[in-house]
Amino acid sequence: MSSKVQSCLAVLALAGTTPASAAPVTIHAGRLIAIPGQPARGPSTIIVDNGRILSIADGLTPAAPGSTLVDLTAKTVLPGLIDSHVHLGTDSGGEARLVRVMRQEPAMNALEAQWNGMKTLRAGFTTVRNLGDDGGITLALRDAIARGWVQGPRIVDAANSISTTGGHMDGRGSLNDELVAHLPDPEHLCDSVESCRRVVRRQIDRGADVIKFATTGGVNSGTGLATRMYDDEAKALVDTAHAYGRKVAVHAHGADGIKLAVRSGADSIEHGTVMDDEIIRLMKQRGTFYVPTLSTVNGYLERLAKDPNAYAGAVKQQIDWRIGVTGQSLQKAYPAGVKIAFGTDAGVSKHGRNADEFELMVKNGMPPAEAIKAATVNAAELLGLAREIGTIEPGKSADIIAVGGDPLSDVRLLKQVDFVMARGEVIVR
């Protein structure tokens, strides 16, 4: 880790956090969605102590002496939300992102990641899966949050995303040759079975909780939809990750690249923009999760409304295509029974606006109850954290949010979260 990043973490540490209350907390819920996908409960009492849910009881039980009472009797209470696909490092895009990469110091990058994490947490997302690191920034932020140095969502981190040379995560294609000549050799690119095994081991050595790689090009890089990886390379990536107990998320847009990823044993398909019947059948058969990331279109449309030249050349052409087809795969996958996990690709869309995804999921065929389940129960399963998060049950982490009204009738209410508790700590909003 560079001295600049270490200095920045010291600054973040000064911000501090308020530890989970030493006294038990009694929450009075007017309505409780304890296990999304199951019927909601009426007035309920939740007892939290030392960051954990101790008990849940029907009715409003008086708080015990010494317990802090949180009155949410006018609210619907539900588990903290989970975003399975974010990039906390930034939410700049297009040409502005390139300028940021060239000019912003690593210490400022770290501060920006923590700022984005807080926007996400305050929006009710108490856990995120960060699928693409930025020089160790989010790995360090993950650990700082876990140590209680700073506030933020629980982070499951992929370290550097992996691709082939010239692929979506290479990054050098937007730079001139003179700049590229001064860059260190990338350690996240692979072009053979042996090098693919090596880069997975390297990310795990850096602390990766999950491995992410790309079988196709990408929209933001202008590298297209075509498959950019051979079967034996993808299989080596997945097999190595699984051998080390890591799940695998695969960025894939085109149908051939999605099939390659599913056949190779990927745990989730990210974006999955072009799906056919064979893909649906394979994903159902293998239990592969689909993370639709519909919110990317919001980020694109907002940047283009502000600046029609925000994206250049091939990137703009691919963005226009992505806007036009986004949601079509979800319309096929959900009714067919493919497992859906909530993910936004925040960073392309705006951090703190993660709940916009719910409205798009419902627009493309998911009932509100199923969209909420995708952001709780399903996402917890995908992240391997079903015993810890995703429901409000005794023994689990006290990740709890509340909204006005009934989100099972109007999922847009999740855009305005009124109360957030993360790991037993009430987050000041």
Confidence of residue 310 (pLDDT cuts 50, 70, 90): confident
Cβ distance 344 to 87 under 8 Å?
no
Strand partners, 87: none
Give me the pLDDT at residue 396, please: 98
187 vs 285, higher pLDDT: 285
Give the model's confidence band at 95: pLDDT under 50 very low, under 70 low, under 90 confident, else very high. low
172 and 134 both lie in a single domain: yes
pLDDT in tens, 130-179: 998 778 999 999 999 999 999 999 999 999 999 998 666 655 455 556 65
**Count of the separate structural domains present in the chain:** 2
Q: How far apart are CA 389 and CA 82, in angstroms?
A: 9
Average pLDDT over residues 293-314: 89
Query: Is there a single domain that holds both residue 212 and residue 318?
Result: yes
In a domain, 39, yes or no: yes
Instruction: Check whether residue 162 and residue 29 sit in a common domain.
Output: no
2 in a structural domain? no
- Residues 185, 314, single domain; the answer is yes
Q: Are residues 201 and 334 both part of a single domain?
A: yes
- In 219-317, DSSP assigns E strands to 247-252, 268-271, 289-291
Least confident of 24-28, 142-146, 227-231, 335-339: 227-231
Q: How far apart are CA 426 and CA 368, in angstroms?
A: 26
Of the two residues 286 and 173, the one the predictor is more confident about is: 286
Per-residue pLDDT at 183: 54
Q: Classify residue 29: in a domain, yes or no.
A: yes
Give residue 181's pLDDT. Answer: 58
Q: Do 31 and 105 belong together in one domain?
A: no
Helices 231-243 and 193-206 pack at an angle, to 10 degrees, of: 30
Tell me the pLDDT of the chain averaged across its residues.
Answer: 89
User: Quick check: 238 and 248 in contact, CB under 8 A?
Assistant: yes
Question: Residue 247: is its pLDDT beyond 60?
Answer: yes
Does any domain span residue 300?
A: yes
Same domain, yes or no, for 241 and 329? yes
Q: Are 278 and 329 in contact (CB under 8 A)?
A: no
Q: Is residue 6 part of a domain?
A: no
Entry field: residues in the chain = 429
Q: Is the pLDDT of residue 18 over 50?
A: no
CATH number for 375: 3.20.20.140
Task: Tell me if 4 is assigned to some domain.
Answer: no
Tell me what the mean pLDDT of segment 81-96 comes to: 82
Residue 299 lies in a domain: yes
Among 408, 405, 425, smallest CA distance to 417 is for 405
Print the domain residue range for 56: 15-80+391-426
- Is the pLDDT assigned to residue 215 strictly greater than 90? yes
H or E stretch at 328: helix 328-336
Task: Answer yes or no: do 267 and 398 share one domain.
Answer: no
Virtual torsion, Cα 145, 130, 296, 314, nearest 10 deg: 130
- Give yes or no: residues 184 and 141 share one domain: yes
User: Would the pLDDT of 6 be above 60?
Assistant: no
Binned at pLDDT 50, 70 and 90, residue 290 comes out as very high
pTM (two decimals): 0.90
The CATH number of the domain where 29 resides is what? Answer: 2.30.40.10
Q: Higher model confidence: residue 118 or residue 101? A: 118
Strand partners, 400: 79, 421
